[in-house]
Structures are given as C-alpha cells and as structure tokens.
A and B are shown apart, each in its own frame.
Chain A
Amino acid sequence: MEMENGSSPAKSWGFRANPELIMSSDNTVRGVLYMIRSKLNQLDTRPIIPLGHGDPSAFPCFRTTQVAEDAIVESLRSAKFNGYSPTDGILPARRAVAEYLSKDLPYELSPDDVFLTLGCVQAIQTIITVLTNPKANILLPRPGFPHYEAFAKACHLEVRHFDLLPDKDWEVDLDSVNTLADENTVAMVIINPGNPCGNVFTYQHLQKVAETAKKLGILVISDEVYDHLAFGKNPFVPMGTFGSITPVITLGSISKRWIVPGWRLGWLVINDPNGILKQHGIIDCITAYLNISADAPTFIQGAIPDILAKTKDDFFLKIVNIIKDCANICYEGIQDVPGIICPTRPEGSMFVMVKLDLSIFVDIKDDVDFCFKLAREESVIILPGMSVGLNNWLRVTFAIEPSALEEGIKRLKAFCERHSKKP
C-alpha cells in the first residue's frame, strides 16, 4: 500500500495501537501455536501432526454424531431461529442444558441458572469480567489454560497462581491456596477433567476444594469443558455437586464432548442452591455483561434441545474409547522417547503434561526452542509448557486419529534421538 498523496506532511493521528492487547493475545494457546506453525518447513511433504490443540474434528473417526448435524440443520430450516435471541439464550436451550446437567447433580437446576455463551471462551471472559473489581485477585491453577490469564490481564484483575502437584496426580495444592488467598480474593479456578494435565479429580478432593473455598469466602469456577471425557480410575464428578458448601460456577460447552468446537456454543451455569451469588448481585452482573456482548447464533441455540436429548450413549462411548486408546498410545510411546518424562498416565481430557530432561540434549535451550525445532524438522506441533505456566514441560494432545498419533510419536522419538548427546 503506497502513500497516494506524497506531498502531505507527516500526520499526527489521534488513534494508536494497543500494546496490552498484543501481549495478551500472544500468550493464548492460539497465539503460541500460530508462532510455532510459522516455523514449519514448507518443503516438508509429510502431513503435519497436530499435537498442539484440543480439536480432533478434522479426523473422520472423530466426526460428530449425525444427531447433532440433523438437529442444527432442522433448526436452520425451520426459519424460526433467524431472529435475535434474548440475552441469556433462548428458553428451550437453557432448559435443555439445565436438564442435561441436573442428571449428574444432587439437585435440579432451573433454566434461570443457565446462561448460553459463544463458546466456553466467552463464558470465561464473562466470569472474569464480572468478578473484576479494583482491589480484587483471582487464584488460577499452574499449569492452567492461558485464556484465563489473558482475560484477567485485559480486565486488570490481579492473578495469583496455586500449583497442581505432579506427584499427586496433579491435585490442587490446597496449602498454597490457603496461603495465597486474602480478603480481596474473589474466586479460584479449577479445570476438571484437567487441561493441560489430563487428570480427573476425585470426589474427596473436590469436596476439600469446596471446603477450602468456603473457609476463604471465595467461589469456585469449575471449567468442565471436557466433562465426561474421563476414562481412567476416577469418574467425572461435577463440582456443582458441592454447590451447597460454597457457590460454584460451572463453565462448559458442546465443543469437546460432541467434537464441534467450531459451533461455538457454551454455557455458564450457577450451582448455588443457597442463592449467595444472587444476593451479592453477581447474577445481575452476568446478565449485564452478556447484554453488552456478542451472542451465540440463535439457530445453534435452537438445536441444543435435540443435541442434548437425542445423542445416543454409543456415540459418547465410541469417542471416549478412541480418546482412551490414544491416551495409552501416547503414554506408552513416550516411555521410549529419550529426554521426555511422563509422570502420570492421562485419565481425562485430551492432553498430558510431560517434562523435558534438557540435560540429555545437545542444543535445545528450553521448551520453546524444543517446539520450534520440532515443528521445523519433523512437522509436529506441540505446545510448549511455558504457555501453560510450566517452563520446560510440554503439553501434548493425544486426541487425534490413532495412526496419526503413532506417526507423531515416532517423529518425536527420532527428533529426541537426533538431538541427544552421544554417550
């Protein structure tokens, strides 16, 4: 784009770039993967193996159920959902989500407890924005999901990190939670099933989390976007089960269980039988924020009742079984890869955290360097642990087509061997 009017004097413009936004976005999963993908060797004809993001929708074995496709097509063709929807979402969809989630809770949710959002990401943005207040702080897990940090930064909400303990199945370090919290702490976030750790919290541990939160006077934000994707020894228990101990806000979506992240339909649900959040005006704030924000398309909301009610169990079983197989392929395959240690077998979600033993490599500086070189040399994309809060670890996605995963691990092994110090 050239200057058309070259004789004009240099203009001083009143608008400018927004450096805060640029910093925030660079640290999201999307932002980091974008940087890693830029290192890919365009001349490598091998297929790229994507072990960096939580989206297996490109693989035929992960195709969503026909029921879901039919539901959305029918909703569209009805022409009843081309108009604007109410702020919280259309009632039939909210009712359907309430019923769906209530199946696993010791109490009934009402449609008024459900707010539909444009994907779980918008649910995160909503709750972070709603809880922001000048002196407030929020407790986030480390490692975690960087969108929380990105939104907190954008809102100027102070973040304090508590650890997840790798030698305790990635449980929350409740002692550190107790130390970090003060009278300005508003909430703590847990992600269950775990992203990035691939763990599933036990009932007892979740109860302890609830009791700790109650003692500290904070609410628990339970990010359950990977709900029901649990395939190990611990069943998935929704945090809302403990909503009468301390207020819980559950974030979820259809993206992972139905493998349709591109449909952008999520929810923010109030699990608070004692009505504490309502008393404190938090519910009104959620409505207020959603009122001034983008909505999920009405026709996708229109499909929700059928998607939730008609999807058959054998679809869910099929998906969970493939993911479980992949988790095992990944865990076992990594045992043979030099320089990479996997502390626990993943039991849920689509990810596992593995630790790098940099001492065995000749020329790998850190996890970012590892991932850049891996992308360039092997066309394999993995997310550096730095972006989820654990330097010199890696977050590996195992939920892809099994043969692609095997190829990915093969290339990972070749890469690590190639870069290892000679004995």
Chain B
Amino acid sequence: MGKQEWGFKENHELHAAAAFTIRNILESIMENIDEKRSGKPKIHLGHGDPSVYDCFRTSTSVEDALVESIRSAKFNCYPAGVGIDPARSAIAEYLSKDLPYKIENDDVFLTAGGNHAIEILLTVLGRPGANILFPRPNYPVYEARVRFSPLEVRHFDLLPEKGWEIDLDGVKALADSDTVAIVLINPGNPCGNVLTFEHMKKIAETARELGILIISDEVYAHQVFADKPFIPMGVFGDIAPVLTIGSLSKRWVVPGWRFGWIAITDPTGILHQTGVAGSLKSCLTISADPPTVIQGAIPAVIKNTPESFFLNINKILKEAAEMFFEKIKEVPNVTCTHKPEGSMFTMVKLNIPAFEDIVDDTDFCTKLAKEECMVIFPGEAVCLKNWVRVSFAAEPKVLEDAIERMKAFCLRHAKPM
C-alpha cells in the first residue's frame, strides 16, 4: 500500500499553549517520583488541592446538598448557558453580602470552575490587536489559555519587597489604547498575599485612568488568616468595571467539582452598555456547562455550610502557613520572603549560586522529586525564575516532613564552604 496523503495535521498553537499548563509541568516533574526507590511516601505540594487530607474534607452539608440534588431527579436536564436561576440567585446573594450594592442573578454566570471562567473571559475579550495585562508571577492557566487567543500579553510586576503589591507605575507604562484589562489574583496565587483597601483603590483608579476593566480572580476569597481582611474588588466597581471570578473549589475544598462563576460587579453598568455582558452570555451559550446536578445543589451548599467549617479550614491554613514560614527559615539557601496571609500558596526564593549542581528552579524541583519524593512547582512556570511555589495546604505532619526533606536536600546540594 502506497503512502496515503491525509488532509488533517497538527495544530501547533495548541502545543504552545498546553506546554504551560500546571498539569503538564507537574506531570513532567512527577515522572521523577519513585516511592519504592526513595523509600518514602510521595508529598505533593505542587497544587492547591488538599482534598486528599482528612482534615480538609468538605463539610457533610455540602455532600448532602449534592445528594439531594441528584435524588430529586429535577436536575438531570440541560441547563441554560448562563446557569440555572436558583444557583445564580444564591451566588448573587452570597456575593452581595460583601459589596456596598446588590448584584442580581443576571450578573452571575456559572462556569465549570475557575479555569473555565478564565477560558471564557479570554475568549470574550480576545480580539486581534488588543493586549491584556497579567501579573508576574501569575497563575499558569492564564498564560496557557492566552497563548490560544489573539491577545498580546504584557506583564507587570508584583513587588516582593512590598509584600507582592502591584507595581502600578509599571502598569501605567505598559498600557495603551488597545489594552482591554488587568488581571489580579486576590488572595494571591502564587504569592499568598492579601491586598489592602488602599492599594485596591489605587488599582481601580489606575484602571479607570487607563480605560480598562479589572479581572479579579477571587477563587481564594475569604481564605485569609493574618491581619488583612479579604475585600472583594467589586467594592471598587464604581471606579472601574470589575469582573469577579469565584469558585467552590477552594473555600469548600472540592476542586474536583469544577464549579465556578463570573460575576459582573459593575454598578455603573458599563459592561452591559459596552456589550461585554452580552458577549459573555453568548460565549456561555456555545461553551460547555457545569453539570446541572451541581448547579441544583448550590442554594443548599451556600445556605447550609456552617460558618464553623470555614473557620476550621482557615484555622488549619493559618497554622500551616505559620509553621511553614517559621520552619523554612531552617532550610539553607532558600527564603520565604513574605509570610503568607491567604490562599494556599507561598513563593520561596532560591539562592541558586549557593548550590553546587543546581542550575535553576526547574532543575531544583526535578532533583527534589527524584531524591526526596516531593513535588513543588517551579517558579518559571509562574513566570518567576529561580523561585518555587509551595502549597502549605496539607496535614501538619506532612508539611513538617516536607520541610525536613527540603532541608536535607538543600544541605546535600549546598556548595562546600
């Protein structure tokens, strides 16, 4: 049989995009894990998913709500693209509690998780010639997904010496008339910081001055445990329009449910007037939906999850963050520059020249995986070379063990004095 000519071929854009995903990067690091050979159980501090640990198990009222939704047989149908009304209303009410204005169910669009919300927003706002402002370091899904969009990316810095605040001068220098939006993540992933009221107000004023909207990624909303309260960016929605991303994944510790939302927190109605809200709706009509059975459970999830559950999770995170921050000081040649105040992550700086045979952050993570059976996330993948991102959302014993292993690793690889 002669060589057949086939009409189909690879889509190279996709490869470029996918190289940047968390899963891809973690997979390549995890290829080096061999529990048998290292004789230790694997420790995974590479992603924000503590659902495997008993102490982080979601509230039974959450499970009950979903079981009820399934058993009712009322939610086996297709949902509307924007989501079913009871779920939208429940989230609108939930979010309005922390805002100086009410948002309606028409301002809430349901998505299959925070990542899906990012996909939708970049699709809606994307057009040739436009650009978008991303933080550096950033949550990798933005970087992956934007490569698959006509948008040009420009990075502004988060300043480690200022608790990871946004370099607003840098933002102003980057923006032009084709800039559509600025993305911020608060509480911060990967930095673990929480923005102050004053700083957020300045961000809003800057956005207004530049004529851009704010995408406020608040998947870690309320997961704060130091002295800074969580403030939704929507509070400043009357200064510049804000699109708020949220999800069940972190606060309720169910990342596998893939349920999130985009909320229009824009009291002056600019996003409706300019047609962005309508475009969101259209995009969701075509795009995949979060399962109706999960949507059906949302009112009960929001209503019935006891405050004590959230307080307990935050307490565990607080203790973990504090313990991590203290103990990492004992590990040579790495520095956690800012005590984590929120989310599940913190950034740790590597002193690469002090190591004998480690060339960069990816090398560090790969060797750490091989030798200590431990996974953390290389900073290059969050756009900050020679740092690493570590999750502290794990059981205390696991976290202690992790730091011990890091210490042993760093001592072993240190340049001789």
Contact = CB atoms under 8 A, between A and B. Distances in A.
Q: Do A and B come from one complex?
A: yes
Interface of A: 1-5, 11-19, 21-22, 24-26, 28, 30-31, 34, 53, 55, 57-58, 63-64, 69, 72-73, 76-77, 79, 81-87, 117-119, 121-122, 125, 129-133, 136, 147, 150-151, 154, 181, 183-187, 214, 216-219, 259-265, 276-277, 280-282, 284-285, 287-289, 291-300
B57 interface: yes
B289 A14 contact: no
A121 B257 CA distance: 18
Contact of A299 (B5, B78, B257): B257
11 contacts: A15-B274, A16-B180, A16-B275, A21-B286, A55-B78, A76-B63, A83-B256, A276-B4, A288-B15, A289-B18, A294-B112
A281 to B, nearest CB: 4
Contact of A263 (B76, B254, B272): B76
A259 B212 contact: no
A117 B289 CA distance: 11
Contact of B144 (A117, A122, A154, A292): A292
Contacts of A131: 8, 11
Nearest to B213: A15
Contact of A18 (B23, B73, B279): B279
Interface string B281-323: 1110111111111100000000000000000000000000000
Interface of B: 4-11, 14-15, 17-18, 21, 23-24, 47, 49, 51-52, 57-58, 63, 66-67, 70-71, 73, 75-81, 111-113, 115-116, 119, 123-127, 130, 141, 144-145, 148, 175, 177-181, 208, 210-213, 238, 241, 253-259, 266-270, 272, 274-276, 278-279, 281-283, 285-294
Nearest to B47: A84
Contacts of A264: 112, 288-292
B282 A22 contact: yes
Nearest to A58: B77
A264 B238 CA distance: 37
Contacts of A22: 275, 278-279, 282
A262 B293 contact: yes
A263 B256 contact: no
A72 B70 contact: yes
A85 B57 CA distance: 17
A129 B4 CA distance: 24
Given A17-B276, A18-B124, 18 more contacts: A18-B275, A30-B285, A31-B282, A76-B63, A125-B287, A136-B8, A151-B286, A184-B7, A218-B8, A219-B8, A260-B76, A291-B24, A293-B116, A293-B288, A294-B116, A294-B258, A295-B258, A297-B294
B18 A292 contact: yes
A28 B286 contact: yes
A263 B290 CA distance: 8
Given A53-B78, A276-B6, A280-B6, A21 B283 contact: yes
Given A86-B23, A297-B294, A1 B267 contact: yes
A365 B232 CA distance: 52
A63 B11 contact: no
Nearest to B68: A73
